[in-house]
Chains A and B, each alone.
Chain A
Amino acid sequence: MKYMMDTLFENLTRFLALLVLVVLVAVFVVLYNNAEPAIEKYGLSFVTNEKWAPNMNIFGGFPAILGSVLSTLIAMLLATPIAIGIAIFLSEIAPAKLKTSFGVSIELLAAIPSVIYGMWGLFYFAPVVREIFGGNGIGLLTGGFILAVMIFPFIAAITRDSMNTTPDILKESAYALGATKWDVIKDVVIPYAKAGVIGSVILALGRAIGETMAVTFVIGNVHQIPSLITDATTSIPVTLANEFNEAESKLHYASLFYLALLLFAISFIVIAFAKFYFLRKVRKAK
């Protein structure tokens, strides 16, 4: 009796753990099945077709994919240096008191729901972009900016954590040799924390590319290839958020599912790469 309960309990927990795998596979299969009409019609040329015209039943994913890539790229270019600067400040410069309070507020900033970032962006940040860069304030650049504001706390928090794992004795040895703070950061701390820093940046990239709400308010939702950085465009999640409930034709639905499948595949690869290649080492180092 006692062993029967044991077997039962073990099998129940194993079944539920395997459920995670089942869900992952199911997401791929279900998205693929629903995208099939579009996959059959366009094949891989969907990725490069520029025209998205639901009224003519023509669907090409290029503008949305390009928008996703460009807005993420802008966000990463802006957020990474700032986040690393903050991490350096938090782990090497700030006095102990500031370290905790500032560190906690950065972590809390990372917990604010993305829809609030989007709303703030629409009402407060877009006008600033319009003033400085021209255009109407709604477009690729604003989307990239908001994404950057959303992900920098995330990168800063993880980067600080991995910088903090540097053993003090290594830093002290460098100081004893006459190194300046920057020498220590560049030659001791950063090499030591490199894997964690790169991993967190890639992880943030995966997060940014799949982010919906922070971008959907401000990117414009127009299927066009932007000729200026301030032009309105769209991205994969934004297209899904705006068109999914209004899609009428079967092909439109299938094309949206095709976009979702591509997004899932991209983020799967990005996150897997970050986890397996960089963050694994951090886990072992602990």
Chain B
Amino acid sequence: MKEHRILINKIILTLSTLAAILGLGFLIWILFVLVKNGLGAMNLNIFMYDGAPPGVAESGLRHAMVGQLMLAVGATVIGVPIGILAGTYLSEFGQNSKLANFIRDISDIMMSAPSIVIGTFVYAIMVAPMGYFNGYAGIVALAIMMIPIVLRTTDDMLSLVPNTLREAAIALGAPKYKMITQVVYRSAKVGIFTGILLSFARIAGETAPLLFTSFNNNFFNLNFNEPIGSLTVTMFSYATSPYEDWQKLGWAAAFILAMFILGLNIVSRFFINRKRK
């Protein structure tokens, strides 16, 4: 009986170690492919030139990098204030009321909603009435995805602020809005900033909500009222094209995007760790 238990124990521990090795194997495989193809496709032209027909040497991803940043920053400009203020309501005013908890649940659901559905929704309310694909629609789609994440982190971070700070501010005669904006926000700012960074990293890698909104653009464009190219959508169309040099550019785009997003994640991890200390 005892041997039996020890044997099973050994089998299970071996199996789960194998699972871990398998998982690590996939991680290494993906990163290896990304680095090998990405670095292989990397050259200065990528940062200097815009999209070009296959076969042209002066082709790059400048338009897509700028476009992706414009879309992500635009979404942040809309999404972050809304998310922070809405999160403030939940933590400072709604607290444990039924309404606040209901909003928390709904926001969690929106956080995991299929991104492509958000794309079709924004297509129906913005692109179809306006009659053309445009950057504004892309921003709105990304902002809809961003708000629940920022809302959630703000709510969590504000609830960590000790109540004595609030009471001290009130006791000094501060009105509630001043107490929130000048005391509560200030002591939660690192946490909120980390949340913003993570949500930015999340939407900066989105493809599906952009397909029907900001669409794609092979030219350099700073006008939000026109289609805007992005690394992700460019990657999708280049990778599925039959031209080898486009596929190469697709890998370069994948590499740049992955490094950018992993970098953001590592930076925010640094902030989280610093806060713990």
Residue numbers in A under 8 Å from B51 (CB-CB):
none
A217, B112: Cβ atoms under 8 Å?
A: no
A39 within 8 A of B: no
Selected interface stretch from B29-37, B42-50, B183-191: B29-37
Residue numbers in A under 8 Å from B82 (CB-CB):
16, 19
Binary interface profile of A, 185-202, with partner B (CB < 8 Å = 1, else 0)?
Answer: 100000000000000000
Q: How far is the CB of A217 from chain B (nearest CB, A)?
A: 7
Instruction: Please provide the chain A residues from 15 to 44 with a CB less than 8 Å away from any CB of chain B in the complex.
Output: 16-21, 23-24, 26-27, 30-31, 33-34
Residue numbers in A under 8 Å from B113 (CB-CB):
27, 210, 264, 267-268, 271
A182, B112: Cβ atoms under 8 Å?
A: no
Instruction: Please provide the chain A residues from 53 to 91 with a CB less than 8 Å away from any CB of chain B in the complex.
Output: 81-86, 88-90
Give the distance in Å from the alpha carbon of A9 to the alpha carbon of B174 in the complex. 14
Residue numbers in B under 8 Å from A109 (CB-CB):
26-27, 30
Count of chain B residues with Cβ under 8 Å from any Cβ of A? 86
B144, A124: Cβ atoms under 8 Å?
A: no
Contact of A102 among B24, B85, B116, B247 (CB under 8 A): B24
Q: How far is the CB of A246 from chain B (nearest CB, A)?
A: 11
Instruction: Please provide the chain B residues from 255 to 277 with a CB less than 8 Å away from any CB of chain A in the complex.
Output: 257-258, 261-262, 265-266, 269
**Given A20-B86, A181-B13, also A240-B120 (CB < 8 A):** yes
Give the distance in Å from the alpha carbon of A152 to the alpha carbon of B110 in the complex. 21
Residue numbers in B under 8 Å from A113 (CB-CB):
205-207, 232, 257-258, 261
A162 within 8 A of B: no
A17, B207: Cβ atoms under 8 Å?
A: no
**Given A113-B205, A240-B116, A267-B113, also A89-B17 (CB < 8 A):** yes
Nearest residue, chain B, Cβ from A238: B116
A94, B20: Cβ atoms under 8 Å?
A: yes
Contact of A18 among B17, B103, B206, B211 (CB under 8 A): B103
Give the distance in Å from the alpha carbon of A3 to the alpha carbon of B33 in the complex. 60
B175, A14: Cβ atoms under 8 Å?
A: no
Number of A-B residue pairs with CB-CB distance less than 8 Å in the complex they form: 257
Nearest residue, chain A, Cβ from B8: A182
B93, A13: Cβ atoms under 8 Å?
A: yes
B168 within 8 A of A: no
A-B pairs with beta carbons under 8 Å apart, 22 shown? A8-B177, A10-B177, A13-B89, A13-B92, A14-B89, A17-B90, A17-B103, A17-B151, A20-B103, A23-B147, A24-B110, A89-B20, A111-B205, A112-B205, A115-B254, A116-B34, A181-B12, A183-B5, A210-B114, A241-B116, A275-B105, A275-B109
List the interface of chain B (C-beta within 8 A of A). Answer: 5-6, 8-9, 12-13, 15-20, 22-24, 26-27, 29-30, 33-34, 82, 85-90, 92-94, 100, 102-103, 105-110, 112-121, 123-125, 144, 147-148, 151, 175-177, 180, 201-202, 205-208, 211-212, 215, 232, 235-236, 239-240, 247, 250-251, 254, 257-258, 261-262, 265-266, 269
Known: A86-B20, A113-B207, A209-B114. 4 other contacts (CB 8 A): A10-B176, A20-B147, A89-B19, A182-B13
